[in-house]
Structure 1
Amino acid sequence: MKPTVAIGFLGSTLDAAKFDAGRWSRWRPTVGLTMHEDLRIDRLVLIHGTQHARLAAFVALDIASVSPETRVEMQVMDFTDPWDFEEVYGKLLDFARAYPFDPDAEDYLVHITTGTHVAQICLFLLTEAHYLPGRLLQTQPARGPGGAAGTWNIIDLDLSRYDSIATRFAADSAESTSFLKSGIDTRNAAFNAMIDEIEQVAVRSRAPLLLMGPTGAGKSQLARRVYELKRVKRQVKGPLVEVNCATLKGDSAMSALFGHRKGAFTGAAADRAGLLRTADTGVLFLDEIGELGLDEQAMILRAIEDKRFLPVGADREVDSDFQLIAGTNRDLAACVAAGTFRDDLYARLNLWTFALPGLAERREDIAPNLDYELDRHAEREGDRITFNKEARDRYLAFATSAEARWPGNFRDLAASVTRMATFSPSGRINVDCVTAEIARLKRLWMGGADAPDALADLLSPEQLDALDPFDRVQLAHVVETCRESRSLSEAGRTLFAASRRQRTSTNDADRLRKYLARFDLSWTDVMGDR
């Protein structure tokens, strides 16, 4: 067995006693430490101040009488103020760094029963950080007579070894994770793993969080839940300040974000604190941060790093200590490459980046989210709406199929539930209501900008990228009209119906043929095997 070395402070009160036989009937922590048959102390490093040298020698003599095998090693350590945390920690750290520890040859116990509370806390922290390479040792008096030795126990800082504590930690973490998911029993493994990571980061870090994902994926709601979780954990006390950066344009962006002084510009009739100052001690959520101009980005970076910034028209900087959560549906790395987003700000935001998947990538989560949206409708309208079984099965069969694209993600789902609930005054959504809603969704998606691209099977990706949005929409409509027509002439008559009425002679087929040729397309290309 390796020899055991104990390290601890002399207890100037608890270890003191009159030099008579009565001292052996009372518990003295440092002496009692060496009186246990089941705990052999081969060496005791006894830390004490110069003014307690006589008591230390007295204690060493008593230890020699009850435990001759224990060698007492005196360690003088004087403090100007033994209640000054910085001084005590600094001197103990110097001691730990200088002491010739040899964990391979010796076992170390750090006795935290004696000394001031500040000293005990410092010993705990230094042991936890492994500056003192040992385990914590706690002693206490025993009940009843003859308790001079007291009792002892080892505190293992690996809390996972304590089943009850580990269980409570796991339950608390699971509760926090459920909170971030708004209590929704999500089933997508990748999403659940990401939320687990966000929960750990939210409670352990004050660094910025970057939430990426398509519109409607839930970035704003998740940011609010992160804020509420940090409030529950008492990590922030200020407000949550939300701003959609896409609404901040021109000169007003600087004023809205950083505030201004009275008279800074025309119309500045009074001082304005600005959103960053309003978020002091709280959380600032900058949604669509990729929409900010480069000047605003530079000032945001300074505010994140230094907690200081200059309001418009001011000659003195102001402070604001906030945590930033940023959201975007843009690829910020691509924006950096294009020169529209600062690389230093992106580097600062990119420590904790989480990409939220769209609803189409989480089809197994549609069912629990459907129930969540019904609950939200009940809270909002005071009217509980439910599905009958056949209608629910019909809706979920469509919603989880490849036919349902969900371009607006959870916003689409929320709107769909609201419509069905509104059209079900009896309180039950039936098959007819679901059938009508499915048809409505198909029409909305086919007519929207996010509809399946009719050009994808006609043009190469390079050709599509070269199209202006106007030309792309127009050409897609032309292709759709062609495919609904029986001939080139019929398609031409449909497309040019208004303009052909103003001409005496027309050749709509030729006009359409020339239009398609602009994009290297022919009637045969468009119609394919139709």
Structure 2
Amino acid sequence: MRRRQVIFGMLGTQLDAGSGPGRWEKWRPTISLGQHEDFLVDQLELLVDERRYGKLAQIVQDDFAQISPDTAVRRHDTYLADPWDFEGVYATLHDFLRGYAFRPEDEDYYIHITTGSHVAQICWFLLAESRHFPGRLLQTSPPRKQGGSDPGSFAIIDLDLSRYDRIAQRFAQQRLEDRDLLKSGIATRNAAFNRMIEQIETVATRSKAPMLLMGPTGAGKSQLAKRVFELKKLKHQLPGRFVEVNCATLRGDGAMSALFGHVKGAYTGAGSDRAGLLRSADRGLLFLDEIGELGLDEQALLLRALEEKRFPPVGGDKDVESDFQLIAGTNRDLQDAVARGRFRDDLLARLNLWTYRLPGLAERPEDIEPNLDFELERWSREQGQRVAFNREARARYLRFATSADARWRGNFRDLGASVMRMATLADAGRIQVALVDEEIARLRALWRTHDGGTLLDALLGDEAASLDRFDRVQLEDAVRVCARAKSLSEAGRTLFAASRARRSSTNDADRLRKYLARFGLDWERVRDVDPAG
């Protein structure tokens, strides 16, 4: 099926001029676009200063309809205060293209550079070179002898241009915006992280090769992969979808089907065809998080799909096609996995061209403050409610968050959850010191539990080691009951159920409160403990 051909061009105020019958004896570059039998134009986007040249534009449009009635001509009112001002012309054309609804999966695009000033031609080239325009340049030339029906010739060309300082500044600004997008708009301060983002921005816009993102859980691998996709989408490089899957969730026979699809009847329960994730990512970006969890069979077929853009679905005897870009994420040492025979060395070699390690939050203490502001602003925006720290509370939280005591096991997930808790509990939109102290205690307990400690280690810290074994066992069971109960009274009734009938007083809540107090605990502290910890 022939793809639609769409040409962008400016009205030639001199070359396209003419209103009498003699105009048909003259070569007019815009009209010539519709006269080539071997280059059919489906749509012409004509940029016109309607105030000054609207009458000429109408003549050209009418004449074009005579020679190529199947071509749709659309006029765009485009005012250039000074057609020789590089910055002004570039800005005008840039803004026009930014608002245009390109469909590169269905259409081929060309810029007709024969008309317009030399400045406009240079700006068109720069926009095409930077992928703000997802197409090529088209040059038309007159015939050797005018006066006949010869439309002349055309050529698709590239230009070699020198740099212009002001336009270079606009490019520099655009690159800063691209990097800002990759960082989610967070003004990060860590120099090594910022250098890594700069290179990722360059690679993302110039390369379609796979990318490998390494780093601990919660370091932002998934978020960065989404931002790379959004950047490439803005530059019209990926018309397809962003498809994400955590490979740790793909288990057994279903893993192959989920990734590569299956045909109807491939196995029991396969009642219809399934496209699979790789086909869903055609012309888009596929993010395989925790790729080290894939089985060896899936790894082998993934390697073939990367190299050949073809693979067979489960149960199928014919290959299907998918041209996707891959970003893989892992918190494992894949070199070690290769040595253990758990990961294919040829697949790692294919992935290892562009490899980046995302540092954990504790490795970027200078970035905790801007990320704290980002998370708080995001919560406020999503909830439609402004929340802020008071000065002392903010200083106290940052002192702890940037100290050696802050483990940040879950990295940015821990930080985001921490901000969400404080913002939710804040009274009158203000996070006070008491709430910060409560949150710091909660984080300490969370990290102690993750470090392999018991519930009592999380609650009591070093004091837990001073308890007798008898007291530890009894107290830990009591804490688990409290964590599952809806109230102190309910927990007391559960713990003291057998002795209730033998007591004159049945104030179980008071009895439990006194028991917990022996160990420096109260209901508010034990009710928030994870009973599975």
Match of 2:425 in 1: 423
Indicate whether 1:121 and 2:123 are aligned: no
Distance in 2, matches of 1:201 and 1:411, equals 27
Indicate whether 1:267 and 2:269 are aligned: yes
Match of 2:341 in 1: 339
- When residues 422 and 497 of structure 1 are mapped into structure 2, their CA distance, relative to the original with a 3 A threshold, is closer
Structure 2 counterparts to residues 114-193 of structure 1, below 5 A: 121=157, 124=159, 155-156=161-162, 159=163, 162-193=164-195
List alignment gaps of at least 5 residues for structure 1: 1-13, 15-111, 129-154, 452-472, 499-530
Match of 1:213 in 2: 215
Contact kept? 1:211, 1:354, Cα under 8 Å: yes
Structure 2 counterparts to residues 220-231 of structure 1, below 5 A: 220-231=222-233
Task: Classify the secondary structure of the residue corresponding to 1:184.
Answer: coil
Distance in 1, matches of 2:169 and 2:474, equals 73
Match of 2:355 in 1: 353
One-letter code aligned to 2:255: A
Match of 2:294 in 1: 292
Distance in 1, matches of 2:253 and 2:204, equals 33
One-letter code aligned to 1:121: I
Match of 2:305 in 1: 303
Distance in 1, matches of 2:141 and 2:284, equals 40
Identity, % of aligned pairs? Answer: 63
Contact kept? 1:217, 1:356, Cα under 8 Å: yes
Contact kept? 1:180, 1:225, Cα under 8 Å: yes
Match of 2:234 in 1: 232
- When residues 189 and 482 of structure 1 are mapped into structure 2, their CA distance, relative to the original with a 3 A threshold, is closer
One-letter code aligned to 2:157: I
One-letter code aligned to 1:385: V
Contact kept? 1:482, 1:491, Cα under 8 Å: no
- When residues 493 and 339 of structure 1 are mapped into structure 2, their CA distance, relative to the original with a 3 A threshold, is same
Per the TM alignment, residue 493 of structure 1 is displaced from its structure 2 partner at its CA by 4.6
TM (norm. structure 1) is 0.58
Structure 2 counterparts to residues 468-507 of structure 1, below 5 A: 484=464, 491=468, 493-494=470-471
One-letter code aligned to 1:185: A
Distance in 2, matches of 1:406 and 1:492, equals 31
Contact kept? 2:140, 2:155, Cα under 8 Å: no
Measured against aligned partners, the alpha-carbon deviations of 1:435-479 in whole angstroms (never above 9, x if no partner) come to 11111111111111377xxxxxxxxxxxxxxxxxxxxx99x98xx
Per the TM alignment, residue 424 of structure 1 is displaced from its structure 2 partner at its CA by 0.7
Match of 2:441 in 1: 439
Match of 1:321 in 2: 323
Contact kept? 1:407, 1:450, Cα under 8 Å: no
Task: Classify the secondary structure of the residue corresponding to 1:353.
Answer: strand
Distance in 2, matches of 1:428 and 1:484, equals 34
Contact kept? 1:481, 1:495, Cα under 8 Å: no
Per the TM alignment, residue 379 of structure 1 is displaced from its structure 2 partner at its CA by 2.4
- When residues 441 and 119 of structure 1 are mapped into structure 2, their CA distance, relative to the original with a 3 A threshold, is same
Counterpart of 1:253 (choices 252, 255, 263) is 255
TM (norm. structure 2) is 0.58
Task: Classify the secondary structure of the residue corresponding to 2:451.
Answer: coil
Per the TM alignment, residue 481 of structure 1 is displaced from its structure 2 partner at its CA by 10
Distance in 2, matches of 1:497 and 1:427, equals 41
Distance in 1, matches of 2:314 and 2:465, equals 60
Per the TM alignment, residue 353 of structure 1 is displaced from its structure 2 partner at its CA by 0.5
Measured against aligned partners, the alpha-carbon deviations of 1:83-102 in whole angstroms (never above 9, x if no partner) come to xxxxxxxxxxxxxxxxxxxx
Distance in 2, matches of 1:164 and 1:481, equals 61
Task: Classify the secondary structure of the residue corresponding to 1:438.
Answer: helix
Per the TM alignment, residue 376 of structure 1 is displaced from its structure 2 partner at its CA by 1.4
Match of 2:30 in 1: none
Counterpart of 2:383 (choices 381, 384, 393) is 381
Larger Rg: 1
- When residues 485 and 396 of structure 1 are mapped into structure 2, their CA distance, relative to the original with a 3 A threshold, is closer
Moved more, 275-284 or 374-383: 374-383
Task: Classify the secondary structure of the residue corresponding to 1:325.
Answer: strand
Distance in 1, matches of 2:445 and 2:398, equals 18
One-letter code aligned to 2:304: R
Counterpart of 1:394 (choices 393, 396, 404) is 396
One-letter code aligned to 2:254: S
One-letter code aligned to 2:370: P
Per the TM alignment, residue 485 of structure 1 is displaced from its structure 2 partner at its CA by 5.0
- When residues 292 and 120 of structure 1 are mapped into structure 2, their CA distance, relative to the original with a 3 A threshold, is closer
One-letter code aligned to 1:323: Q
Following TM superposition, the consecutive aligned residue runs of length 4 or more in structure 1 with deviations greater than 4 angstroms are 112-120, 480-486, 490-498
Indicate whether 1:404 and 2:440 are aligned: no
One-letter code aligned to 1:292: L
Distance in 2, matches of 1:319 and 1:207, equals 17
Contact kept? 1:243, 1:285, Cα under 8 Å: yes
- When residues 496 and 396 of structure 1 are mapped into structure 2, their CA distance, relative to the original with a 3 A threshold, is closer
Distance in 2, matches of 1:497 and 1:168, equals 69
Per the TM alignment, residue 168 of structure 1 is displaced from its structure 2 partner at its CA by 1.5
Measured against aligned partners, the alpha-carbon deviations of 1:38-80 in whole angstroms (never above 9, x if no partner) come to xxxxxxxxxxxxxxxxxxxxxxxxxxxxxxxxxxxxxxxxxxx
Contact kept? 1:310, 1:317, Cα under 8 Å: yes
Measured against aligned partners, the alpha-carbon deviations of 1:358-393 in whole angstroms (never above 9, x if no partner) come to 000011001110111012112222222111111111
Match of 1:517 in 2: none
Contact kept? 2:263, 2:274, Cα under 8 Å: yes
